[in-house]
Structure 1
Amino acid sequence: MSDLRLRLPEPKAAEYLEAPPPFGRLLVNAGIIKQDDLVHALNLQQHVDAPLGEILAAEGLARRSDILAALSRQHQMQLADLAADPPDPRIKAYLPTALCLKYQVVPWMMMGDVLLVATNTPGAFADFQACLGVGGRKVLPVLAQAADIRHAISTLYGDELAERAATRVPAAHSCRTWTATSPLRRVWASLIAGAAIGLTIAAPRMVLTGLLLLALLTLVMTTTLKVLAFGAQMHARFFDRTPPAPEAAAPFRLPRVSVLVPLLNEEEIAGKLIERLSRLTYPKSLLDVVLVLEAQDTVTRKTIARTQMPPWMSVIEVPQASDLTTKPRALNYALDFCRGSVIGVWDAEDCPEPDQIERIVTRFNAAPDNVACLQGRLDYYNPRANWLARCFAIEYATWWRMMLPGVARLGLVVPLGGTTLFFRRPILEKLCGWDAHNVTEDADLGLRLAREGYVTELVETTTFEEANARAWPWIKQRSRWLKGYLITWVVHMRAPGKLMKELGFWRFMGVQALFLATFVQFALAPLLWSFWITLLGVTHPVTSVLGSDLMWHIAVVFLVAEVINLTVSLAAVSGRAHRHLLPFVFTMPFYFTMAAVSSYKALKEMVAQPFYWDKTQHGISLGDEPARAAAPDADAAHHADLQPIRLPLAQLWDSTRCLVAGGGRWSGFIPPDQDAVLPTVVPALPEDLVVPPQEPRA
């Protein structure tokens, strides 16, 4: 242990008496690992872009403290325990925040005129020194654990980073310019409401007729979009029979992937979350899962403290900043601490397919540079909980298996979902991350990506979520979604001419249908439902204004739209995994009555609480998680009867990559401390996939 109180008048870097041995040999000579462990890790390093120490720690072959001690001996650097002796808060003035984040270093203490800087990557310290310039401050490196460095950065610079997280997106593309409790907005809302009430009293039939025509217009818009998207998806399903050419199988070193998992008041979900993510087959040395907590969230902190976390998972606490507590603010804050070149987002209750990361990095490797985001498909693992969960699962299947793929095939703007998103980090940072004040930050980011000319693709991989199976929580969740869609529309329609120029006419009209018409449809749905009274022989109140012939035509449009809705939903749940939902499709009109209530709650909050995040409570249906969520491959049962073969982890990844590149699937997972068992159907490794050996990195 270092003597933290020792002060030297002129500290200098230690000089090598002789050339240090390679890092792996140093670990073997010290008895920290065995020779076979070193060979295994070096073989794996040929295929993954990770230091040798990271691989050994992720594989459970060495403790991080032993690895750090070996690095200290190799580089002749002093160890620093930042947890026992944290930096003085006043020392943050010696280094800028951006430099600390870029090189993951933190100022520790002063010795004379020399600043001791804690790092976990000795090889990158020379680049950090170069940024200080020739006449810059004298610095010397000390070694510390990466988690302690991140915690120290957050402690020293947290207030500045929290403020930056809240204002990261330029004001022109953000809703933060709205005052959360603006008296002026309430005055305008009151005036509009008063005028509407006055007009309704003065000319009720004319007002009702105008609203009905508006509802009809938005119904035509949303139905047309649904027909086009459904047609595009069905055409691809039945007529594009030519299998896609295998993606380029040229060798590439696997990138590090950081996945952000924002948590808030999660008392039940943390242990289950770790269990689910442990099934991922991506090399753990390249997996950087970051649990993002609010600093004042004692509930989740206590839950995580009771949970044994794997070495590839870390925790970032977001300092409080004003009264804003939103998911996008937490994501912005944690983004600066991520180590991956690919940034993903999962929700607390998510259960991704085991090979999801492999599919993402393989597609990113083959995709054009303008493909900025890959969106996975979402499904529910508790659709049998009750009637509400079944209807929610039908709605999700319709959206994720029919509508959204069709929208993407039509080349329209893809409104992103809140989870199973993966971004190229440079592009995400170029767009300044998420709007911290928008409660549907995902849809807003999808629109901003499209405006900048980037493409979002859908990937054939599924994440299973927990369906909201209680009425009032469902209404609260849906009101947040509708409020966010309306806010996003208002923000981007500040300059409609510019928006149309950037997107083009048809994509511009798609935005109107997806964002504005969706909200209006739910809000005015009761007017459309009123047509059902005509089937009982009751004359509709607006018949005297529009005439009976036009009213019958409108009624036919309404009925045709309902038939289209049911047809698309029936097609969406016709697959083997969802066939049990088919009878419940015909109850969907009753299900959507709750969405009308949600729209009124959303409208009220948009005026009074535009930034309020009505959080959904997770962990209600944990016991309903089916086995298919853990192993979703339909052929898994068939493979179970085959004689397994055992592969080393490095060779296993090559075989897995062949399957992914060729469109195959494998639903097993690699325990972090074991070799993996694969069925005998794994193909032989092609020679062109062999990656030339490279020099090991410490």
Structure 2
Amino acid sequence: MPRSAAAQDLDRPARAPRLGELLRAAGAVPPAAVDSALAARGIVPLGEALRRRGAVTGATIAGALAAQSRLPLADLEADPPDPVLSQGMDPRGLLRLGALPWRRQDGRLVIAIEGPDARARLLARRPALDGQVDFAVAERRAIEDAILALHGPALAEAARDRCPEAVSCRGWTRRSGAVLPVIALTLAAAALLAPLPRFLALLGWLALVNACTTALRAVALVESFRAGTDAPRRPPAGAPLPVISLLIPLFREDATLRQLIAALEASDYPRERLDAIFILEADDVATPIALARTRLPPWARVLTVPPDTLKTKPRAMNLALDFCRGDIVGIYDAEDRPEPDQLRRVAEHLAAAPPEVGCVQGYLDFYNPRQNWLARCFAVEYAIWFRVLLRGVQRLGMPLPLGGTTVFFRRRVLERVGAWDAHNVTEDADLGMRLARLGYRTEMVATTTYEEANCRPWPWVRQRSRWLKGYAMTWVTHMRAPVRLWRELGPAGFAGFQLLLLGGLTAYLATPLYWALWAGWLGFDLAVFASGPRWLWTAWFASMSLGQAVMAAVALRAVWARPRRHLIATVPLMFLYWPLGALAAWRAVTELFTRPFYWAKTDHGL
């Protein structure tokens, strides 16, 4: 005889209460806030959406999740995890799962999890654990803090060596660093034994670099007049916005912190889809004090990386990457002030772009270009690079050397290429090359971040020497296997790699020679001019003059827009600016042999 429907209903397990229902019933959050978060949550869990909006604390969410899943609540701060239980485990795997062995109770292992989803992820990977272990719900941040406290050294080591060794410069001192002195001594001996042929060969190389650079600038100049080159990609209507994790490395940045937070709070990106991580170094004293005096928004958190013999920005970001919660990972520097709609533009561009677009780069500009002459020259240089030249690089199919900020990655792509080389002091340029080698493209997005121009001569030289040192290390590292590099980048990419890295460094190093030759051409007696026919020298100086004329045209084009038009008067004086780059280049070459991994910190907020 069939059972009645009422009897069958009694056998069915009671439906677990929904999280919103529990929060409403407990009066932990206004019903309107729950309804609003439900309507906008999309790919973000309700509890996390409410927390990032500031409607409820993480502890309250953990308590509600424990009640929903009928599990006990674990307070990892008052009752820390037993360190023996997770010994030998992969901490990065624990972070991905959102789980950590907590303690043994009545002979059974209890695992702290961030919620029911974490239990499902864990049992999917380890089905044998089902019924063999118990679970307790803990706040997500508490789990992450406990993993970092227990496994800091292992996480630091993984961050240091995250980039594959074959494309990392961490073996510089035992490989490249030993080869370069031999090359330098060989060239010096050749110059002494046959000075004139070697000198003419050097001039030939410089002429080739100048010709290629002039061609690139001309293409970029033409490209800048094409309509639609800045047209943004538009995703399909109704496509949900993803979570964006922002990595913000800080070291002695107390002077600029509040301005950055204010700029991020002005963003129009939905708060429940923001995940900002302020990354601190263990020996930084000033920045934690400034953070303690600042009210952080609920979508931001602080991560202090464990101490290590290597202390670089890419090493800190490698460690923080495992703590990110977004599908897009972006980088900001401490002094940055991004435009309010920047994150939305980035998300929409990547949503509409094909999968091979693994990264987008925004424009960089300065908010203090009128401070002094050096600041104006720096602003002209940035405008040339970001407003004009990168278009030409992109148009010719060359790999883009990324900037250190306002660059955004698809997270899966970033993890696939090995993230950042923790030892490279120009980690952004290196990462741009590795992305291209694996078949990914970088595209420019028409959005601007304003930062502080480094406008004091010696700090400018120190910063530029770090950049050029990193360019040199990147060139040597990737040229270990030039045939493979050619195959992976293709002819145009390989040529661009040589021009952008080696060619740029060569041009800076040769600046004193340029000045000396121009002095001889203008009347000073130089014996070298007797070594060749007059027409040859005329042709050489004509090509140099053409290159400078194209450069001036590019500079004028870059600053012609109204916000930068006041910089037009600075363009004719740029020839006085480039010798600073020569000083930085020679300092960079010296540091390649003496302090290859030294990170020259740039002070901000001046």
Question: Is TM (by shorter chain) over 0.5?
Answer: yes
Residues 582, 185 of structure 1: alpha-carbon distance in 2 compared, 3 angstrom cutoff: same
- Partner SS, residue 612 of structure 1: coil
Specify which of 438, 461, 472 is matched with residue 424 of structure 2: 438
Tell me which residue corresponds to 2:20.
24
Measure the CA separation in 2 of the matches of 1:405 and 1:394: 16
Give how far 1:558 is off: 1.4
Specify which of 39, 61, 64 is matched with residue 58 of structure 2: 64
Give how far 1:185 is off: 6.8
Residues 399, 244 of structure 1: alpha-carbon distance in 2 compared, 3 angstrom cutoff: closer
Alignment check: 8 A CA contact 1:328 1:434 kept = yes
Tell me which residue corresponds to 1:317.
304
Tell me which residue corresponds to 1:176.
170
Tell me which residue corresponds to 2:445.
459
For residues 307-334 of structure 1, the C-alpha deviation after alignment (integer angstroms, 9 at most, x for no partner) is: 211110011121123x211111111111
Specify which of 392, 398, 401 is matched with residue 412 of structure 1: 398
Tell me which residue corresponds to 1:516.
502
1:34 lines up with 2:45 in the alignment: no
For residues 557-585 of structure 1, the C-alpha deviation after alignment (integer angstroms, 9 at most, x for no partner) is: 11111111111001100000100100001
Give how far 1:609 is off: 1.5
- Of 218-227 and 361-370, deviating more is 218-227
1:382 lines up with 2:382 in the alignment: no
Specify which of 297, 311, 329 is matched with residue 343 of structure 1: 329
Tell me which residue corresponds to 2:550.
564
Measure the CA separation in 2 of the matches of 1:185 and 1:59: 50
The 5 A counterparts of 1:526-675 are 526-534=512-520, 536-620=522-606
Residues 199, 110 of structure 1: alpha-carbon distance in 2 compared, 3 angstrom cutoff: same
Alignment check: 8 A CA contact 1:256 1:286 kept = yes
Alignment check: 8 A CA contact 1:229 1:410 kept = no
- Of 450-459 and 201-210, deviating more is 201-210
Tell me which residue corresponds to 1:480.
466
Question: Which one-letter code corresponds to 2:223 in the other structure?
Answer: A
For residues 608-634 of structure 1, the C-alpha deviation after alignment (integer angstroms, 9 at most, x for no partner) is: 2211111111221xxxxxxxxxxxxxx
TM-score with structure 1 setting the length: 0.81
Measure the CA separation in 1 of the matches of 2:515 and 2:551: 14
Residues 433, 94 of structure 1: alpha-carbon distance in 2 compared, 3 angstrom cutoff: closer
Tell me which residue corresponds to 1:228.
219
The 5 A counterparts of 1:494-513 are 494-513=480-499
- Of 77-86 and 331-340, deviating more is 77-86
- Of 54-63 and 466-475, deviating more is 54-63
Measure the CA separation in 1 of the matches of 2:541 and 2:129: 79
Measure the CA separation in 2 of the matches of 1:516 and 1:422: 26
Question: Which one-letter code corresponds to 1:369 in the other structure?
Answer: P
1:272 lines up with 2:259 in the alignment: yes
TM-score with structure 2 setting the length: 0.93
Alignment check: 8 A CA contact 1:225 1:510 kept = no
Specify which of 284, 290, 303 is matched with residue 297 of structure 1: 284
The 5 A counterparts of 1:43-122 are 43-45=39-41, 48-93=42-87, 95-122=89-116
Give how far 1:246 is off: 7.2
Question: Which one-letter code corresponds to 2:208 in the other structure?
Answer: L
Specify which of 337, 343, 346 is matched with residue 357 of structure 1: 343
Give the length in aligned residue pairs: 595
Tell me which residue corresponds to 1:4.
none
- Partner SS, residue 443 of structure 2: strand
Tell me which residue corresponds to 2:381.
395
Specify which of 202, 213, 225 is matched with residue 211 of structure 1: 202
Question: Which one-letter code corresponds to 2:286 in the other structure?
Answer: V
- Of 195-204 and 124-133, deviating more is 195-204
The 5 A counterparts of 1:681-696 are none
Question: Which one-letter code corresponds to 2:289 in the other structure?
Answer: K
For residues 79-120 of structure 1, the C-alpha deviation after alignment (integer angstroms, 9 at most, x for no partner) is: 222222222322222754243121122222111332222222
For residues 129-169 of structure 1, the C-alpha deviation after alignment (integer angstroms, 9 at most, x for no partner) is: 23223267932222222221111111112111111111111
Residues 137, 525 of structure 1: alpha-carbon distance in 2 compared, 3 angstrom cutoff: farther
Give how far 1:460 is off: 1.0
Measure the CA separation in 1 of the matches of 2:27 and 2:291: 33
Measure the CA separation in 2 of the matches of 1:495 and 1:137: 52
| Structure 2: tracts of 5 or more residues without a match | 1-11
Give how far 1:265 is off: 2.0
For residues 2-28 of structure 1, the C-alpha deviation after alignment (integer angstroms, 9 at most, x for no partner) is: xxxxxxxxxxxxxx9954432212222
Alignment check: 8 A CA contact 2:62 2:115 kept = no
Aligned-pair identity (%): 43
Question: Which one-letter code corresponds to 2:27 in the other structure?
Answer: G
Give how far 1:203 is off: 5.5
Measure the CA separation in 2 of the matches of 1:526 and 1:245: 43
Measure the CA separation in 1 of the matches of 2:131 and 2:166: 38
For residues 487-521 of structure 1, the C-alpha deviation after alignment (integer angstroms, 9 at most, x for no partner) is: 11111111111111122212211111111110001
- Of 609-618 and 569-578, deviating more is 609-618
Alignment check: 8 A CA contact 2:232 2:349 kept = no
- Give the RMSD, CA atoms, in angstroms: 2.3
Measure the CA separation in 2 of the matches of 1:248 and 1:558: 45
Specify which of 357, 365, 369 is matched with residue 355 of structure 2: 369
1:283 lines up with 2:283 in the alignment: no
1:148 lines up with 2:148 in the alignment: no
Residues 211, 117 of structure 1: alpha-carbon distance in 2 compared, 3 angstrom cutoff: same
For residues 175-225 of structure 1, the C-alpha deviation after alignment (integer angstroms, 9 at most, x for no partner) is: 11223xx5x877765555555555555665555444333322222222222
For residues 237-273 of structure 1, the C-alpha deviation after alignment (integer angstroms, 9 at most, x for no partner) is: 4xx59x9697343322221111111111222122222
For residues 222-243 of structure 1, the C-alpha deviation after alignment (integer angstroms, 9 at most, x for no partner) is: 2222222222233x24xx59x9
- Partner SS, residue 368 of structure 1: coil
Measure the CA separation in 2 of the matches of 1:329 and 1:477: 18
For residues 387-442 of structure 1, the C-alpha deviation after alignment (integer angstroms, 9 at most, x for no partner) is: 10110000000000000022112221111111111111111111111111111111
- Partner SS, residue 364 of structure 2: strand
| Structure 1: tracts of 5 or more residues without a match | 1-15, 621-698
Measure the CA separation in 2 of the matches of 1:194 and 1:256: 53
Alignment check: 8 A CA contact 1:418 1:442 kept = yes
For residues 358-400 of structure 1, the C-alpha deviation after alignment (integer angstroms, 9 at most, x for no partner) is: 1111111111111111111111111111110110000000000
Question: Which one-letter code corresponds to 1:312 in the other structure?
Answer: W
Measure the CA separation in 1 of the matches of 2:95 and 2:200: 59
Question: Which one-letter code corresponds to 1:495 in the other structure?
Answer: A
Measure the CA separation in 2 of the matches of 1:69 and 1:333: 29
Question: Which one-letter code corresponds to 1:359 in the other structure?
Answer: R
